[in-house]
């Protein structure tokens, strides 16, 4: 009961805070504090709201903003899937062979330090100016933190679970799915979260730097709004980026945690 | 008449842990020989560090060793469902499965797919260990004693030839421990299963064991005697005091 109340007052505080920030924004916007640049830096809330609509209806170059979002998400999901599967395959192999483990450990440590965008020049030479570049960068963003977490998680699996698994007749391969993956679930999920966050940022920066005319994306859209001095539309786009992050956090990760590590009493 | 129907035969078991320093480490077990009869309940006593756990882990197939361990005359070097281990650690059942799934999972691995049959088996064994109404709970919602009961039910349900128990009750409070001893005694008299039960508690060894051995350094078996007392055994049973003293003395030296 008390906890409910706490959560409720917490929520009220947040809402009030947001309202105040919006109020300040709006008064700054109306006061024209920055002279001629004021309309670019601080479009009014009404303008940003209308920009939401024009983003969807008119968009840019004949395509609605939705097309840009869909395209970005498509590349993101392909990259995430490839990255996650590869991370599991390599981490699984590391559990089978000691040599593979030490080599892969080294590879992960090295590549984890390389920002994907820094690889862009090389990647463009390899893939040409194609969406493959973006997918590659997403894979790069997700595979190393994911592998690090999965490896750490596998190493931290209590020996007693492994022995109980062996005892009941699990073969090496089935041990991976029957014991290692569920036992390491909290590590795996935190790896997924870090991987997703990096991939999402990596995707946007790659799209902005290297905006492909033939591959519409959110990053490209922001750039085009900027060059066309449509700053209200740009702000509307930023809000969408945040919203997608929120949806992924609360619509995907939170439910997964709730029906795995939380339910199992394993969350750290 | 000697009972010659042995289910387990340990011949010349020698175990050396290969540690990093490799200074030609001393064997933990040196030429251990032991036969365990079918349906026997063997209690194992011994001072800390004498190699009881090591012996059990060798039997379970978790360790490499020299010598031979035969179950029904067949070499048992790798882990198998004919020998199921119950550890001391409360956290040996899988936290990601409900209580009943913990029991059903190994059965599914053995090829039992029928849902009703699985349900029936898990219910039956949970009842045997006096756990009812926790089927759908997750292990983190159980007490230590309840977790050990689930572990025992999971072991029994797999119908192993031998159940290996390494101080399963050591971390429990005295009352829960006594209750579990009684339950285990009942279960062992009903099941067609051999038990090897390690304990530090002489009373526990006497109450449960059909036969009690005392191990000393390097796995030497110092005392090996049949438990002639009439069950159920309490400290008031005639002969209990002398027997307790004998094992106590054997452990002292
Ligand atoms: N994995 C290991 N590596 C190296 N030495 C080990 C290992 N496990 C046990 N030992 C050593 O083997 C000896 C016997 O250990 P073991 O665990 O079998 O004893 P125990 O009789 O079960 O003792 P306790 O009653 O305290 O459980 C000890 O000296 C211990 O240090
Ligand atoms: Mg021990």
Any atom of ligand 1 within 6 Å of the Cβ of B59: no
From chain A, pick out residues whose CB is under 8 angstroms from the CB of B81. Answer: 167-169
Task: Say if domain B6-82+160-252 classifies as CATH 3.40.50.1360.
Answer: no
What's the pLDDT score for residue A70? 94
CB spacing of A169 vs B92 below 8 angstroms: no
- State the Cα–Cα distance between residues B230 and B144, nearest whole angstrom: 31
Query: In chain B, what are the domain boundaries?
Result: 6-82+160-252, 94-158
Let me know if A24 is exposed, middle or buried by CB neighbors in 10 A (0-12, 13-18, 19+).
Answer: exposed
Q: How many other C-beta atoms are found inside a 10 Å radius of the C-beta of residue A76?
A: 25
What ipTM is given for this predicted complex?
A: 0.93
A98 phi, psi to nearest 5 deg:
-60, -40
- The mean pLDDT of chain A is 91
Protein residue whose Cα sits closest to atom 3 of ligand 1: B17
Note whether residue A239 is domain-resident: yes
**Total residues belonging to chain B:** 253
Separation of CA B171 from chain center:
15
What's the pLDDT score for residue A259? 94
Note whether residue A102 is domain-resident: yes
Mutate to test the pocket of ligand 1, among B13, B14, B28, B170 (most ligand atoms within 8 A of CB): B28
- State the Cα–Cα distance between residues A226 and A228, nearest whole angstrom: 5
* Rg of the Cα atoms in chain A: 23
CATH number at residue A128: 1.10.3720.10
Whether the pLDDT of residue A96 is over 60: the answer is yes
Closest among B115, B126, B8, B24 to B68, alpha carbons compared: B8
Residues A63-86 have a mean pLDDT of: 94
Quick one: pLDDT band at residue A214, thresholds 50, 70, 90? low
- State the Cα–Cα distance between residues A79 and A136, nearest whole angstrom: 7
Question: What are the CA-CA distances from residue B18 to residues A106, A135, B214 (Å)?
Answer: 27, 47, 26
- The mean pLDDT of chain B is 93
HEC readout, A167-186: HCCCCHHHHHHHHHHHHCHH
Q: Please give the model's pTM, rounded to 2 decimal places.
A: 0.89
Q: Which of A3-17, B19-33, B130-144, B223-237 has the lowest mean pLDDT?
A: B19-33
Q: Helix, strand or coil for residue B37?
A: strand
Q: Does residue B90 come out as left (phi exceeding 0), alpha (psi in the -120 to 50 range) or beta?
A: alpha
Return the C-alpha torsion angle B233, B235, B239, B245, nearest 10. Answer: 120
DSSP state of A258: I
CB spacing of A183 vs B87 below 8 angstroms: no
Whether the pLDDT of residue B90 is over 50: the answer is yes
Whether the pLDDT of residue B2 is over 50: the answer is no
Bridge partner residues of B41 (DSSP): B195
Parallel/antiparallel/unpaired status of strands B194-198 and B162-166: parallel
Whether the pLDDT of residue A154 is over 80: the answer is yes
Any atom of ligand 1 within 6 Å of the Cβ of B27: no
Total count of domains within chain A: 1
* Interface with A, mutate which of B54, B60, B77, B79 (most A CBs under 10 A): B79
Q: Give the angle A197-A200-A204 at the CA atoms, nearest 5°.
A: 140
Let me know if A26 is exposed, middle or buried by CB neighbors in 10 A (0-12, 13-18, 19+).
Answer: middle
Whether the pLDDT of residue B20 is over 70: the answer is no
What's the pLDDT score for residue A212? 64
Question: What are the CA-CA distances from residue A44 to residues A14, A47, B157, B167 (Å)?
Answer: 22, 5, 70, 72
Cα distance from N-terminal residue to C-terminal residue, chain A: 25
Quick one: pLDDT band at residue A61, thresholds 50, 70, 90? confident
- Whether B99 and B142 have beta carbons less than 8 Å apart is answered as yes
What's the pLDDT score for residue A209? 82
What's the pLDDT score for residue B147? 96
Is the pLDDT higher at A253 or at B24? A253
Quick one: pLDDT band at residue A148, thresholds 50, 70, 90? very high
CB spacing of A167 vs B95 below 8 angstroms: no
A213 lies in which domain range? 72-259
Note whether residue A55 is domain-resident: no
Is the pLDDT higher at B138 or at A224? B138
Helix axis angle, B115-128 to B99-109, nearest 10°: 120
**Minimal CA separation from B239 to chain A, in Å:** 39
pLDDT in tens, B31-70: 999 999 999 999 999 999 999 999 999 999 999 999 999 9
Q: Helix, strand or coil for residue A1?
A: coil
CB spacing of A170 vs B109 below 8 angstroms: yes
> Could you identify the atom of ligand 1 that is nearest to the CA of residue B47?
25
Q: Which of A26-30, A208-212, B244-248 has the lowest mean pLDDT?
A: A208-212
DSSP state of B42: E
User: What one-character-per-residue DSSP string does A16-68 give?
Assistant: HHHHHHHHHHHHHHHHTTTGGGHHHHS--HHHHHHHHHHHHHT-BTTB-HHHH
Note whether residue A56 is domain-resident: no
Residues A172-176 have a mean pLDDT of: 88
pLDDT in tens, B205-215: 999 999 999 99
B233 phi, psi to nearest 5 deg:
-95, 130
Whether the pLDDT of residue B150 is over 90: the answer is yes
What's the pLDDT score for residue B1? 41
Q: Which residue of B has its CA nearest to A262?
A: B96
Closest among A244, A76, A267, A94 to A188, alpha carbons compared: A267
Q: Give the angle A71-A75-A78 at the CA atoms, nearest 5°.
A: 135
Whether the pLDDT of residue B132 is over 90: the answer is no
What's the pLDDT score for residue A3? 83
Whether the pLDDT of residue A84 is over 50: the answer is yes
- State the Cα–Cα distance between residues A198 and A205, nearest whole angstrom: 11
Cβ-Cβ contacts under 8 Å for A68 (sequence gap 6 or more): A59, A60, A216, A217, A218, A220, A221
Edge-first strand order for the sheet with B29-37 is B29-37, B6-15, B66-71, B74-75
- Burial readout B77-86 (b: 16 or more C-beta within 10 A, e: otherwise): eebbbbbbbb
Place of tokens 């005295």: B174
Residue from the list A158, A163, A166 with its beta carbon closest to the beta carbon of B91? A158
pLDDT in tens, A224-252: 888 888 889 999 999 999 999 999 989 99
Question: What are the CA-CA distances from residue B3 to residues A62, B37, B38, B62, B163 (Å)?
Answer: 91, 7, 9, 29, 20
Note whether residue A230 is domain-resident: yes
Top mean pLDDT of A123-137, A138-152, B6-20 is at A138-152
């Amino acid at each position: 009961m008390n906890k409910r109340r706490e959560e409720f007052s917490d929520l009220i505080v947040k809402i009030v805070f947001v309202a105040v920030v919006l109020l300040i924004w709006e008064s700054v916007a109306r006061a024209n504090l920055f002279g001629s640049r004021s309309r670019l830096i601080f479009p009014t809330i009404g303008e940003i709201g209308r920009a939401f609509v024009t983003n969807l209806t008119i968009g840019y170059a004949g395509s609605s903003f939705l097309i840009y979002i869909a395209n970005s998400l498509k590349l993101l999901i392909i990259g995430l899937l490839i990255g996650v599967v590869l991370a599991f395959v390599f981490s699984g192999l590391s559990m089978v062979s000691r040599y593979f483990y030490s080599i892969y450990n080294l590879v992960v440590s090295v590549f984890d330090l390389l920002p994907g965008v820094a690889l862009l020049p090389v990647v463009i030479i390899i893939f040409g100016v194609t969406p493959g570049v973006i997918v590659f960068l997403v894979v790069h963003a997700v595979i190393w933190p994911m592998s690090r977490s999965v490896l750490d998680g596998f190493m931290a699996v209590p020996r007693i679970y492994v022995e109980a698994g062996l005892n009941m007749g699990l073969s090496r391969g089935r041990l991976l799915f029957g014991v290692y993956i569920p036992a390491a679930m909290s590590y795996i999920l935190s790896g997924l979260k870090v991987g997703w966050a990096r991939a999402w940022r990596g995707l946007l920066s790659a799209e902005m730097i290297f905006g492909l005319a033939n591959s519409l994306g959110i990053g490209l859209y922001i750039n085009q709004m900027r060059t066309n001095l449509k700053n209200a539309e740009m702000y509307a786009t930023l809000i969408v980026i945040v919203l997608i992050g929120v949806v992924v956090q609360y619509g995907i990760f939170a439910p997964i945690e709730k029906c795995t590590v939380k339910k199992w009493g394993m969350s750290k | 008449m000697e009972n010659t129907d042995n289910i387990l035969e340990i011949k010349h078991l020698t175990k050396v842990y290969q540690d990093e320093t490799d200074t030609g480490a001393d064997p933990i077990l040196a030429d251990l020989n032991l036969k365990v009869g079918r349906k026997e309940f063997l209690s194992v006593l011994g001072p800390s560090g004498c190699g009881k756990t090591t012996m059990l882990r060798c039997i379970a197939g978790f360790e490499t060793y020299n010598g031979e361990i035969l179950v029904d005359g067949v070499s048992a070097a790798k882990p198998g469902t004919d020998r199921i281990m119950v550890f001391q650690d409360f956290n040996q059942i899988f936290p990601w499965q409900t209580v009943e799934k913990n029991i059903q999972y190994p059965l599914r691995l053995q090829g039992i797919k029928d849902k009703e049959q699985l349900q029936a088996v898990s219910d039956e064994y949970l009842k045997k260990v006096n756990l009812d109404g926790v089927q759908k709970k997750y292990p983190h919602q159980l007490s230590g004693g309840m977790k050990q009961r689930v572990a025992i039910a999971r072991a029994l349900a797999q119908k192993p030839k031998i159940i290996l128990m390494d101080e399963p009750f050591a971390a429990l409070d005295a009352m829960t421990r006594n209750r579990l001893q009684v339950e285990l005694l009942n279960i062992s008299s009903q099941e067609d299963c051999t038990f090897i039960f390690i304990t530090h508690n002489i009373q526990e060894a006497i109450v449960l064991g059909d036969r009690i051995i005392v191990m000393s350094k390097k796995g030497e078996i110092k005392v090996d005697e049949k438990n002639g007392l009439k069950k159920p055994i309490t400290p008031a049973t005639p002969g209990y005091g002398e027997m307790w003293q004998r094992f106590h003395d054997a452990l002292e030296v």
